[in-house]
Amino acid sequence: MEPSASPELLPGTLYLLILRTLRSGPLHGYAIAKRIKEASRDGLEIEDGSLYPALNRMLVKGWLASAWGVSENNRKARFYRLTPEGRAQLEKEAGEFDRLVRAIKLVMRTA
């Protein structure tokens, strides 16, 4: 089952974005969504309803681990962090994504 990502997102890129966002350290779900939105200067918006299924699928695959902690606004929140497997997956997917984008760009420019 592939994530039902928002139409603006290429299929499968949601995992990549989440992995990349978590590279700098553990975050809770809301912060992940916000960070992606800000980093893309509002260009990418993740539908809130699809964020949590994606996070859980990644937990099942073992790319992420989660732990409960206290958020900056003093609420109990679940923080996600990268596992070594997740880091490896990020490198792999980032490389693949780069190749894909380069290829698409080439096609767009020349064809």
Applying CB under 8 A, the residues found at the interface with other proteins are: 1, 4, 28-30, 33, 47-50, 52-53, 56-57, 59-62, 68, 71, 73, 75-78, 85
To the nearest whole angstrom, how small is the minimum distance from the Cβ of residue 95 to other proteins?
Answer: 19
Nearer to other proteins, 20 or 28 (CB): 28
Query: Residue 18 burial (CB < 10 Å; 0-12/13-18/19+)?
Result: buried
The smaller minimum CB distance to other proteins, of residues 59 and 94, is found at 59
Measured from the CB of residue 68, what is the shortest distance to other proteins in angstroms? 8
